[in-house]
């Protein structure tokens, strides 16, 4: 399948997942209200935190090593199985400490109710997060997209059923999240059956981990870049404020689905291209097209956000329309940053992708601690957008320096760019 077909296929599945996700979000935001929806967002944040710390950058190293022919798929599975086992034990210890020891004994409600099932969900989250690396490394993008769609469909069915019988509450929403991980695990293990043998060769483990650890630092910083605000908003402003902020983030991040679809396909293709000059020229073309599409979508959301939020989510979330406006400039820059980051990762320039994250994350945290107590959610949105702009600018400058190109070489628009914007012929690319 050529590059354009893969991008469009990925985009189709992401749009289908987007439709289900937006529909599910409307039901949960309306049924739970800002406070309980904020609690659910925080629980999902906690679940996502564990696989982020447990993956050791395996996804990036698997794509690079398998694409370069430096490891075979069977040995890669054995390495990942070993890491899943060790990571799960560490994650369970962390869950036990946080929910049994750290929390006050008088703590009640959802956090106590989910303690035991959460341990199972954490295991599945780690397994899925690492196992999808195998499918991604084999460039089986369509299979990976189908698994993602199955996850959204499972959540949507449970949430919709509970909503229409008037039983949608926080516990049911958590069950929907948990079962979606079960479905995803089932899909992934059928697509890439495990090797029923534990242990792996030290040379293979070392090669995967040595490259992976470079990406690992960046992955932690990357997760912090996108979600550390949830922790600080909950701490400073409470779960109701997080419920409103999470809606603004949900809507703005959907703008990036086209960019994400392209970068998902771009990374393994660049890895197999071996640093060819043509791959860099085509990345430039994709960056230009992606930026134009993102700007059009940002303009549409800027105009329609308030009436759409009022209509779909209700008046309790109207503040999200103001927060969303402050996030849009950062999202526009981030669309460029994601694409050049995928290209650099595909060429094995892991540290070049990581160090901007490590520089901007501490500044972002300082910005949140300064802005949230003084300016509330608006301050948090401004700090977030500024962080996206700074991060993407550094990545773009790094890309220009490493590829020895000027800014105008990358962003010099041609008449064909505008013609191809709507028919996607710009994506008719083969590496």
Q: Is the pLDDT of residue 266 over 60?
A: no
Q: Is the pLDDT of residue 282 over 80?
A: no
Report helix, strand and coil shares of the chain as percent, to nearest 5. 85, 0, 15
pTM for this predicted structure: 0.75
Write down the residue that tokens 């989910």 correspond to: 114
Distance CA 91, CA 88 (A): 5
Q: Give the highest mean pLDDT range of 206-210, 292-296, 386-390, 423-427.
A: 386-390
Q: Is the pLDDT of residue 415 over 80?
A: no
pLDDT (0 to 100) of residue 416: 64
Instruction: Output phi, psi for 280, to 5 deg.
Output: -70, -40
**What confidence category does residue 103 fall into, taking pLDDT thresholds of 50, 70 and 90?**
low
**What confidence category does residue 98 fall into, taking pLDDT thresholds of 50, 70 and 90?**
low
Q: Which residue has the higher pLDDT, 200 or 408?
A: 408
Alpha helices in 103-169 (DSSP H): 110-113, 115-137, 141-164
Q: Which residue has the higher pLDDT, 198 or 368?
A: 368
Q: Which residue has the higher pLDDT, 329 or 402?
A: 329
Stretch among 37-41, 53-57, 189-193, 196-200 having the lowest mean pLDDT: 196-200
Distance CA 135, CA 123 (A): 19
Alpha helices in 404-412 (DSSP H): 407-411
**What confidence category does residue 2 fall into, taking pLDDT thresholds of 50, 70 and 90?**
low
Distance CA 20, CA 33 (A): 20
Write down the residue that tokens 């395996």 correspond to: 58
Q: Which residue has the higher pLDDT, 108 or 224?
A: 224
How much of the chain, in percent, has pLDDT values that exceed 70?
81
Distance CA 269, CA 277 (A): 13
Q: How far apart are the first and last CA of the chain?
A: 11
Q: Which residue has the higher pLDDT, 431 or 405?
A: 405
pLDDT digits (tens, 9 = 90+) for 148-174: 888 888 889 999 999 888 888 888 888
Q: Which residue has the higher pLDDT, 3 or 204?
A: 204
| DSSP H or E stretch at residue 339 | helix 319-346
What region does 430 belong to: left with phi over 0, alpha with psi -120 to 50, or beta? beta
Dig out the tokens for 194 from the structure: 């495990």
Q: Is the pLDDT of residue 362 over 70?
A: yes
Q: Give the highest mean pLDDT range of 60-64, 199-203, 260-264, 357-361.
A: 357-361
The average pLDDT across 13-30 equals 85
**What confidence category does residue 427 fall into, taking pLDDT thresholds of 50, 70 and 90?**
very low
The average pLDDT across 370-389 equals 95
pLDDT digits (tens, 9 = 90+) for 173-196: 888 989 988 988 888 888 888 877
pLDDT (0 to 100) of residue 377: 94
Burial class for 407, CB neighbours closer than 10 Å (0-12, 13-18, 19+): exposed
Q: Is the pLDDT of residue 105 over 50?
A: no
- Radius of gyration of the chain measured on its C-alpha atoms: 21
Q: Is the pLDDT of residue 327 over 90?
A: yes
How much of the chain, in percent, has pLDDT values that exceed 90?
19
**CB-based contacts of 330: which residues, under 8 Å, 6+ apart?**
384, 385, 386, 387, 388, 389
Dig out the tokens for 17 from the structure: 């997942």
**What confidence category does residue 289 fall into, taking pLDDT thresholds of 50, 70 and 90?**
confident
pLDDT (0 to 100) of residue 281: 72
Distance CA 131, CA 125 (A): 10
pLDDT digits (tens, 9 = 90+) for 223-257: 788 888 998 998 899 889 999 999 999 888 888 87
Mean pLDDT, the chain, whole residue set: 79
Among 295, 277, 276, 299, CA closest to 287: 295
Among 158, 152, 179, CA closest to 22: 152
Distance CA 222, CA 338 (A): 11
pLDDT (0 to 100) of residue 267: 47
């Amino acid at each position: 399948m050529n590059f354009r077909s893969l991008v469009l296929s990925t985009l189709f599945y992401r749009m289908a997942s987007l439709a289900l996700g937006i529909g599910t979000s409307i039901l949960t935001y309306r049924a739970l209200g800002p406070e309980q929806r904020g609690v659910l967002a925080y629980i999902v944040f906690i679940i996502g935190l564990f696989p982020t710390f447990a993956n050791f950058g395996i996804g990036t190293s698997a794509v690079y090593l398998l694409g370069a022919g430096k490891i075979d798929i069977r040995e890669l599975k054995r390495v990942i199985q070993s890491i899943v086992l060790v990571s799960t034990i560490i994650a369970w210890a962390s869950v036990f400490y946080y929910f049994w020891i750290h929390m006050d004994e008088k703590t009640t409600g959802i956090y106590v109710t989910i303690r035991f099932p959460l341990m199972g969900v954490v295991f599945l989250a780690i397994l899925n997060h690492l196992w999808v690396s195998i499918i991604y490394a084999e460039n089986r993008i369509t299979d990976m997209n189908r698994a993602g769609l199955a996850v959204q469909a499972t959540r949507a069915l449970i949430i919709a059923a509970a909503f229409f019988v008037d039983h949608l509450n926080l516990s049911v929403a958590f069950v929907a999240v948990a079962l979606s991980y079960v479905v995803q695990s089932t899909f992934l293990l059928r697509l890439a059956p495990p090797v029923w043998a534990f242990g792996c060769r030290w040379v293979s483990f070392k090669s995967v981990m040595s490259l992976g650890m470079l990406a690992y630092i960046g992955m932690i910083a990357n997760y912090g870049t996108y979600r550390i605000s949830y922790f600080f908003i909950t701490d400073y402003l409470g779960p109701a404020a997080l419920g409103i902020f999470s809606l603004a983030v949900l809507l703005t991040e959907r703008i990036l689905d086209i960019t994400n679809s392209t970068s998902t396909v771009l990374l393994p293709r660049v890895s197999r291209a071996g640093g060819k000059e043509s791959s860099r020229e085509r990345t430039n073309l994709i960056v230009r097209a992606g930026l134009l599409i993102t700007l059009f979508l940002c303009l549409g959301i800027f105009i329609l956000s308030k009436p759409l939020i009022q209509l779909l989510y209700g008046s309790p979330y109207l503040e999200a329309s103001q927060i969303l406006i402050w996030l849009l400039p950062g999202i526009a820059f981030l669309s460029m940053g994601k694409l050049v980051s995928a290209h650099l990762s595909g060429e094995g320039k892991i540290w070049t992708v990581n160090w901007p994250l490590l520089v901007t994350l501490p500044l972002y945290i300082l910005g949140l601690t300064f802005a949230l107590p003084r300016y509330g959610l608006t301050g948090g949105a401004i700090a977030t957008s500024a962080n996206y702009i700074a991060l993407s600018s550094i990545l773009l400058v790094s890309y220009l320096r490493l590829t020895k190109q000027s800014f105008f070489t990358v962003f010099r628009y041609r008449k064909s760019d505008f013609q191809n914007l709507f028919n996607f012929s710009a994506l008719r690319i083969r590496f």
